[in-house]
Amino acid sequence: MPLEIRKVLEKFLSLLIGLGSVFILDSLYPAKSPPFWRYICVDMRVTDNKKAHNTSSYKNTSLIVRRNKEFIIIIRFDRPFNNQQDNVHLEFMIGNSPDENKGTYITVSFGKEKRDGRWNGRVIGMQGNEVTVGITPDASCIIGRFRTFVTIVTDLGKQRTQRNPDIDLYVLFNAWDPGEDTDRQEYVMNDVGIIFNGEINNISSRAWNFGQFEKGVLDACLLVLDAGKVPLLYRGNAIEVVRQGSALINSQDDDGVLVGSWSGDYSTGTAPTAWTGSPEILLKYAKDGGLPVCFAQCWVFAGVLNTFMRCLGIPTRVVTNYCSAHDNTGNLKTDIILDEDGRVNRSRTRDSVWNYHSWNEVFMRRPDLPERFSGWQVIDCTPQETSDGLYRCGPTSVNAIRDGELSYPFDARFVFAEVRNMSMLFDVYLPSSDKYGNTKVINVDTTYVGKLLITKRMNSNAYEDITSAYKHPEGSLKERETMQMAERRGVSSRDYLPPAEAGVTIELQADTIKIGDNFKLTLNIKNQTRQTCTLSATITGCVVYYTGITSSIFKLDNKAYMPYLVEQSNLLFVVYGRIEENGKTLSTMRVVALRPPELTIKVTGTPRVGKDFMVTVSFRNPFNFILKNIQLRLESPGLITTKLKTYDHIAPGGSLQYTETITPQYPGKKVLIACLDCATVRQVTSQLEIFVQ
């Protein structure tokens, strides 16, 4: 065969191999002139390499490594390898059209014509027909699944191995790189966590199975990037992957993983409150070929994004912001409009303050910003506002938010508005009776928004207060400097005309109650003047979503709120008063949290590897009405996959009991997570830590 034709065929077949076709290039050589030696097999040393790269936890039989760290493999030939005379290439390809210039076709050469490439390679040793080599993916390597080929190069041409999925290679981000100074065990390796919710006066939590190491989850996370058409060139840049991920976990505009819904009607999917972890969601998304999963709200978005980032190797945590502002009017003020009788005017109130809102932080260097803005970065995939045309948020530096440096990418002003108590004015208006429909301020609270920001404490289920990472102390010089900096960066001034002092203060007190219990309100009134004051006051009670949106107003009678309850609902009480002697007005409000009924988990037997033990989940219906169409989930990362049971109804006072037999495969601490959910009662959860011997 002429040399020119052979080269053309070789190039053509190389392209086909890059596309996943199976060829061996023996046909390029005349029958009388075969290569003098052949490749036999390659040992990827999966167990040893995974241990060295902190990837042993992935339930995946392929080799998984972290970039910028050497992994060692052994290649066997049919004769000894001669480093001075022989030439061997290890080729790693990703994508449909591998290109050396784009980093999607990597060649690591060994032997007499060794040349430098993107990845470093070295011969570690030779014994018999085996050669041991070390390979180091470069620090900016594309993350994903590479196809591996061994190519023998001779004067007659190349002999490349067939495609063998068993020697495919996954490359991930490396949080163990110098400069990535954070707790990797908590923020990369921990596969179960706590997401905090509730409200500022009643902080509650639920366990969440991140499950980043579960079977199929890594491939599902890579599918998210593929389905979102994220260019391979972007996948070596952590900033790009993080920003793309914050868009792709929601399906608002790009057929991402989750459909957000706050409608209350989840009959066409799963209620957000029913999920117990990310693997079920990501695996369903992959199984359905990239069809968005229904439904999610902020903590579900945050839980799945946490899994996505940790799975790819980026340190990530979930953060909860209590009294989180959503400023629809864009004036950095949260405006609550009252009717003349003191009730919240739902049609005119466009802004809202969420009881809580969950987002994520990722820990990374920001080479695109000054050095002091590296570290924790806010990302948020709950679809609230668009950024560069897509529903996403971040990454934005937490340090930049704290210091009012809002001109750096990405979305710093939006996050600043969610947490900044001195720039967010909590204004309550009373409609005037003039023909222009003007309003007047009757109350301003500059400390209402961003009262508390927390995340799970390392090695504990308690929370860590990280408010000081976002804001300087109230009234401090640093805080004033931050506001001045923010105003220079374009945010609205916090100047306002405060309402005149009424001389009387009011405070509403109430305790957290169980759903269905009676509530007790105490209104404390303090006269700070020397005159007698006559106060006329109206107390309005309404059911409110956790997003701060009011649902229904109810009478202040015992249990009168029950017919109006919505998912994750709390009770909002608004007091509006007028002093008859001077006509001045005053108001206050209080959110009363409602605790759901209890769900219990009990273990029978001692959990031991290879031995059965039983887990029983129990629930009693404490209400005087029937619960219908109940879902019960039980799961535990590293122990059992999600078990879903459905029940037609539970009568008043009736009980439910579900028992599962489990045979542990791995020792260590495990967390059992259970959740009961139905249309009339949401957020009924429980968790139990056990130790498998």
Contact between 377 and 398 (Cβ < 8 Å): yes
With 80 as the cut, is the pLDDT of residue 87 above it? yes
With 60 as the cut, is the pLDDT of residue 353 above it? yes
CATH number among 2.60.40.10, 2.60.120.10, 3.30.70.20, 2.60.40.730, domain 3-172: 2.60.40.10
Q: Which fold has domain 184-488?
A: Coagulation Factor XIII; Chain A, domain 2 (3.90.260)
Q: Which comes out higher in pLDDT, residue 381 or 155?
A: 381
Lowest mean pLDDT among 245-259, 279-293, 514-528, 541-555: 541-555
Please give the CATH number for the structural domain made up of 504-595.
Answer: 2.60.40.10
Instruction: Convert the pLDDT of each residue in 162-195 to its tens digit.
Output: 999 999 999 999 999 886 778 999 999 999 999 9
Q: Which comes out higher in pLDDT, residue 475 or 130?
A: 130
Distance CA 478, CA 117 (A): 49
Q: Do the domains 184-488 and 599-692 sit in the same CATH topology, yes or no?
A: no
> Residues 578-602: what's their mean pLDDT?
89
Token digits for 414?
Answer: 């939006």
Q: Where are the domains of the chain?
A: 3-172, 184-488, 504-595, 599-692
Contact between 387 and 415 (Cβ < 8 Å): no
Helix (H, G, I), strand (E, B) or coil at 683: coil
User: What's the pLDDT band for 269 if we cut at 50, 70, 90?
Assistant: very high
At residue 30, the pLDDT reads 40
* Phi, psi for residue 427 in degrees, rounded to 5: -105, 130
At residue 549, the pLDDT reads 78
User: What's the pLDDT band for 540 if we cut at 50, 70, 90?
Assistant: confident
Q: Which helix (H) or strand (E) holds 248?
A: helix 238-248
User: What's the pLDDT band for 302 if we cut at 50, 70, 90?
Assistant: very high
Q: Which helix (H) or strand (E) holds 413?
A: helix 412-419
Q: Which fold has domain 599-692?
A: Immunoglobulin-like (2.60.40)
Distance CA 386, CA 10 (A): 48
Instruction: Convert the pLDDT of each residue in 194-219 to its tens digit.
Output: 999 998 988 999 999 999 999 999 99
> Residues 447-473: what's their mean pLDDT?
93
User: What's the pLDDT band for 293 if we cut at 50, 70, 90?
Assistant: very high
With 70 as the cut, is the pLDDT of residue 93 above it? yes
Share of the chain above pLDDT 70, in %: 86
At residue 583, the pLDDT reads 84
At residue 550, the pLDDT reads 76
At residue 335, the pLDDT reads 66
> Residues 440-465: what's their mean pLDDT?
85
User: What's the pLDDT band for 427 if we cut at 50, 70, 90?
Assistant: very low
> Mean pLDDT in the chain?
88
Q: Which comes out higher in pLDDT, residue 559 or 237?
A: 237
At residue 613, the pLDDT reads 97
Instruction: Convert the pLDDT of each residue in 390-399 to its tens digit.
Output: 999 999 999 9
At residue 34, the pLDDT reads 45
Token digits for 82?
Answer: 């001669």
- Give per-residue burial for 89-122: e unless 16+ CB within 10 Å, then b: bbbbbbbeebeeeebbbbbbbbbeebeeebbebe
User: What's the pLDDT band for 491 if we cut at 50, 70, 90?
Assistant: confident
Nearest to 382 by CA among 292, 209, 210, 260: 260
Contact between 471 and 414 (Cβ < 8 Å): no
Instruction: Convert the pLDDT of each residue in 515-524 to its tens digit.
Output: 888 888 999 9
Other CB atoms within 10 Å distance of the CB of residue 192: 22
Per-position DSSP letters for 479-506, written without gaps between them: HHHHHHHHHHTTPPP----PPPP-SEEE
Lowest mean pLDDT among 95-109, 192-206, 348-362: 348-362
Instruction: Convert the pLDDT of each residue in 49-83 to its tens digit.
Output: 999 999 999 999 999 999 999 999 999 999 999 99
User: What's the pLDDT band for 488 if we cut at 50, 70, 90?
Assistant: confident
Share of the chain above pLDDT 90, in %: 63
Instruction: Convert the pLDDT of each residue in 593-611 to its tens digit.
Output: 888 999 999 999 999 999 9
CA distances for 65 relative to 50, 143, 174, 175, 654, angstroms: 7, 10, 9, 12, 52
Per-position DSSP letters for 109-128, written without gaps between them: EEETT----SSEEEEEEEET
With 80 as the cut, is the pLDDT of residue 402 above it? yes
Q: Which amino acid is at 219?
A: D
Just list the catalytic residues. 298, 357, 380
Per-position DSSP letters for 165-182, written without gaps between them: GGG-EEEE--TTSTT--S
With 70 as the cut, is the pLDDT of residue 511 above it? yes
Degrees, nearest 5: CA angle 626-628-631: 135
With 70 as the cut, is the pLDDT of residue 581 above it? yes
Instruction: Give CA 20 to chain center in angstroms.
Output: 33
At residue 661, the pLDDT reads 97
